[in-house]
Structure 1
Amino acid sequence: MNAYDLFNGDADGLCALHQLRLVEPRDSVLISGVKRDIALFDQLPSGRPLQVTALDISWDRNAQGVCRVLNGGGQVTYFDHHSAKKLFRHPQLTAHIDSGLDVCTSILVDRHLGGVLRQWAIVAAYGDNLDAVADRMAREHGCTAATRGALAQLGYLLNYNAYGESREDLHFCPVQLYRSMHRFESPLDFMAKAYEFRRLLEGHASDLKAVQGLTPYTANDKATVYVLPDRAWARRLCGTLANQLVARNNGRSVAVLTPRSDGDFLVSLRIGSASASRADVFCSRYPAGGGRHGAGGIDRLPDQDMDRFINEFFAHLESDTP
């Protein structure tokens, strides 16, 4: 069978595939894209059996594509931590799916591999805004405070590279970044030797200068909403900025709205520690919306629906249901 590896272009997807292929090498075609480009099964060829591994892309957004592969005599291995309401069983399907609060896809791969490349799972956890989980894993792994800081920095930068409306917004295509990472068994070696890491470090520092002075669009006692300008730096920062903003928002939730080239908005939403509400439940009300418990997004929010979205977001946080 022709082999394909489909992976999210963020830190979690990159580190998940990197771990898996260091331990279980396979000559495969790589398919990825920007952070929100997750319907990757749609890019697969038809007409012949395929061996597909999918990492960190929503099952519910790809369920029909999985069916096509299986019905065509193919095999699918799936690692993911997002909502999977449409999950089914099939003899040619192996699914490692866990939507728990304390996991990301790289942690699921780490479990599958017995922890032999644990530092890459720690990098992914930091990048996926699971700082407490990553800190615990790093301490259990014997990492010093300096090493923990370095792994966290790498996780944030790999995640930062994934955000954009198109690949032109990114510093590196995720496939190119993966191939560079895959030359290094240690994340610390990648940071010390790879040009790509230095470029991400410089690009992130430059983008952060542009965001200085950012003020909320609106806020209440449970959440803050930010609307970014129509700039490439804003599209690159939107996801990592949402993580940083919620971390210092005193338990309140955060929504970051970033203009798209067509005049609509891309939404990055994070639920603060003071709320029991779910990001995935709320975002899935909207077309092309979804996520996981604490973090979600909407690929396209029409401009005319912005005020309605904000009111519904505030109301969702006020309700007693998740």
Structure 2
Amino acid sequence: MNYDIFNGDADGIISLLQLRLANPIESELVTGVKRDINLLSKLVDKVELAKGDKLTVLDISMEKNQAGLVCALDGEIDVFYADHHRTGDIAVSKHLDAHIDLDANTCTALIVDGVLNGEYHYWAITAAYGDNLIAKGDQLSKVAGLPVEQSEQLKELGTLINYNGYGAVVEDLHFHPAKLYMALLKYPSPFDVIADNSSPFYRLQSAYQEDMDNALAIQAEYRSDVVSAFELPNEPWARRISGVYGNQLANQNPNSAHAVLTENRDGTYTASLRAPLSNKQGAGDICSQFETGGGRAAAAGINALPKEQIADFIKAVEAFYHVGPTSAGKDF
């Protein structure tokens, strides 16, 4: 049995898309909302894997899935693992084919693009844009000879696929990530998606604009020289838009960190942290200080931040990026 295990965001979906366009196989799809990252460990707990099974693991932190990975390798299961998040210790095993790059200016789809020698390069560029690697996407588009209009199309498609992955549960999403992946699999090029008026692109485009309009009406709850924090309500639209909204804020003010705090049903908060684009480091380290936190240097998050810890979270961000005097907003 083949298992394809992938993050439900643009990077995870497009990483698998490239691999399966290049090498179609029948597989069991294992995915979920963007923040559902313990996918490998959950699979190992749920399914009794057997010799001969093969696992493809994409865009989920090896550090967060150490138990599942070790169990699979101990069972002599072959694992292809591509990722750009924190790893912890990387196991040494003849059954592990690991492609890891922690550089802040790469993503899993670009790693896969290298493995495939650029066979589906336009899809990789789309994923880079979706992962908010805008400068990287622009650079790759230019090298590929794409006109500005086409690079903007890839940017919008990547953003929309990424937007679809955000939510507390899959019911918050417009498409289950596995269904979105399957819908996109019939398009060898991202430009084919945009050319098809019946593709998911157009449904996501309309929904995205409505959710973003809601977010843009929100004022900052806290602002200093190094960080701005925004609080979104416990609503499906807020959970859907939180990540791409954080990306947009980061692009608008590249010298500041940005935190988007979305209230969960239980009164805790989902925190999305974007490091300053001019200093793409530290986000994962900051969020990992909190129990349900993790991520990478440029972008990270906390799944369930207690309200009473929000002030500590903001202080941690301030301390890392060198606190300046508060110029507006309030203390949490």
Common fold: TM-score over 0.5 = yes
The CA distance in 2 between the partners of 1:250 and 1:16, in whole Å, is: 27
- 1:143 equivalent to 2:146? Answer yes
Conservation of the 8 A alpha-carbon contact between 1:277 and 1:317: no
The CA distance in 1 between the partners of 2:254 and 2:181, in whole Å, is: 35
2:189 to 186, 189, 193: 186
Q: Deviations over 1:153-203 (max 9, x none)?
A: 000000000000000100000000000000010101112214311110111
- 1:296 equivalent to 2:289? Answer no
- 1:238 equivalent to 2:237? Answer no
Q: How does 1:127-166 map to 2 (within 5 A)?
A: 127-166=130-169
Partner residue of 2:179?
Answer: 176
Q: State which drifts further: 66-75 or 206-215.
A: 206-215
The CA distance in 1 between the partners of 2:290 and 2:97, in whole Å, is: 30
The CA distance in 1 between the partners of 2:278 and 2:8, in whole Å, is: 30
Read off the aligned partner of 2:43 and give its amino acid letter. Q
- 1:90 equivalent to 2:93? Answer yes
Read off the aligned partner of 2:116 and give its amino acid letter. L
CA RMSD of aligned residues (A): 1.3
Percent identity at matched positions? 39
Read off the aligned partner of 1:140 and give its amino acid letter. V
Conservation of the 8 A alpha-carbon contact between 2:163 and 2:240: yes
Partner residue of 2:285?
Answer: 281
Partner residue of 1:224?
Answer: 228
Q: How does 1:7-86 map to 2 (within 5 A)?
A: 7-41=6-40, 42-44=42-44, 45-49=47-51, 50-86=53-89
Q: How does 1:253-272 map to 2 (within 5 A)?
A: 253-272=257-276
SS in 1 for 2:13: helix
The CA distance in 2 between the partners of 1:309 and 1:245, in whole Å, is: 19
Once the two structures are TM-superposed, the CA of residue 63 in structure 1 deviates from its matched residue by 1.2
SS in 1 for 2:321: helix
How many residues align? The count is 318
Structure 1 residue runs of 4+, over 6 Å off? none
The CA distance in 2 between the partners of 1:263 and 1:56, in whole Å, is: 29
Q: State which drifts further: 45-54 or 97-106.
A: 45-54
The CA distance in 2 between the partners of 1:276 and 1:171, in whole Å, is: 30
Q: Alpha carbons of 1:276 and 1:7: their partners in 2 closer, same or farther (altered >3 Å)?
A: closer
Once the two structures are TM-superposed, the CA of residue 73 in structure 1 deviates from its matched residue by 2.1
Read off the aligned partner of 1:278 and give its amino acid letter. G
Q: Deviations over 1:6-28 (max 9, x none)?
A: 00010101110000111112211
Q: How does 1:106-117 map to 2 (within 5 A)?
A: 106-117=109-120
Conservation of the 8 A alpha-carbon contact between 1:277 and 1:316: no
Q: Alpha carbons of 1:277 and 1:18: their partners in 2 closer, same or farther (altered >3 Å)?
A: closer
Once the two structures are TM-superposed, the CA of residue 213 in structure 1 deviates from its matched residue by 2.2
2:251 to 240, 247, 252: 247
Once the two structures are TM-superposed, the CA of residue 207 in structure 1 deviates from its matched residue by 1.0
The CA distance in 2 between the partners of 1:73 and 1:250, in whole Å, is: 46
The CA distance in 1 between the partners of 2:216 and 2:248, in whole Å, is: 13
The CA distance in 2 between the partners of 1:308 and 1:217, in whole Å, is: 15
Conservation of the 8 A alpha-carbon contact between 1:81 and 1:103: yes
TM-score by length of 1: 0.96
Q: Deviations over 1:232-264 (max 9, x none)?
A: 111000000000001112511101100111110
The CA distance in 2 between the partners of 1:308 and 1:137, in whole Å, is: 39
TM-score by length of 2: 0.93
Q: Return 5+ residue gaps in structure 1 as ranges.
A: none
SS in 2 for 1:318: coil
Q: Deviations over 1:9-65 (max 9, x none)?
A: 101011100001111122110010000001111124125233100000111011110
